[in-house]
Structure 1
Amino acid sequence: MHIYWWLVHLSTDAGKELTEKIGLVYQINVAPKKLGFEEVTCFVDLKKGEVTKVDATFSFKDDDFVKVATGKMNPKIAFISGAMKIKGSLSAAQKFTPDIFPKPSKL
């Protein structure tokens, strides 16, 4: 699944800056084809602590996660169209923007 490259990015200096800026914990559920089936769950701690409480949970299909992460789909459009489901704090969810993801590199 495509979420792992983002988790690696969070261990870099740029990722550490995000941790200081965002200060939230997200749960990301990514499914290969259909939401709720065969999902991979990752916890993204942008709070610098032990994950005891999730501020917002996002569910995506793999392809839609990539579109949001690369800026090809606006998170608001993803939510409105049903490509992204949100549970939890809406104010925390609003900080979930494409700028928290690493920029795609050209290989």
Structure 2
Amino acid sequence: MADSNSTTTQLKSDVLLEQMKQHLTTEAGKEITKKINLVYQINIAPKKIGYEEIVYTVDLKKGEVKKGPYEGGKPDATFSFKDDDFVKVALGKMNPQIAFMRGAMKIKGSLSAAQKFTPDIFPKPSKM
């Protein structure tokens, strides 16, 4: 079932978040969940932050990734990215602090929780 948008945009981030979903089921992924124990909401826009965003919940308490806003209260931190910038940060090609300072990443919620959201929590990319 598609969103209210007539076109469902295929984001590069979809692939990464799908890989992360698989990663969290592995032993390494379970370690990350135990270590971080926070919930993140990620809003990813195809071109411009704030427009046509696709929302993901990365629940590092339960160890799951799903499309849609977090339903268990408020996430510890919410990030907003453009698709390309999210991919760069997740793959470690752009430093999260620099992304934030340049306005490529917006953060709401706990900054200390946000600081634990690093490229280390993502599976190493096989090939993209």
**Fold in common (TM above 0.5):** yes
Deviates more, 1:61-70 or 1:97-106: 97-106
Q: State how many pairs are aligned.
A: 107
- How large is the RMSD of aligned CA atoms in angstroms? 1.8
Deviates more, 1:40-49 or 1:4-13: 4-13
Partner amino acid, structure 1, of 2:48: K
Deviates more, 1:66-75 or 1:43-52: 43-52
Structure 1 27/14 Cα, relative in aligned 2: closer, same or farther at 3 Å? same
Match of 2:52 among 32, 35, 38: 38
Structure 1: gaps spanning 5 or more residues: none
Post-superposition offset of 1:9 = 2.1
* 1:81 is aligned to 2:114: no
Partner amino acid, structure 1, of 2:37: G
Q: Which residue in 2 is equivalent to 1:15?
A: 29
Post-superposition offset of 1:35 = 0.7
Greater Rg over alpha carbons, structure: 2
Which SS does the other structure have where 1:102 is aligned?
A: coil
Post-superposition offset of 1:10 = 2.0
| TM-score between the two structures when normalised by the length of structure 2 | 0.77
Moved over 4 A (4+): none
| TM-score between the two structures when normalised by the length of structure 1 | 0.91
- Encode CA deviations 1:48-106: one digit per residue, 9 max, x unaligned: 28833310000000000000000000000000000000000011011111101111113
Aligned runs of 1:1-107 on 2, under 5 Å?
Answer: 1=11, 2=13, 3-48=17-62, 51-106=72-127
Post-superposition offset of 1:14 = 1.9
Structure 2: gaps spanning 5 or more residues: 1-10, 64-70
Post-superposition offset of 1:47 = 1.3
Which SS does the other structure have where 1:96 is aligned?
A: coil
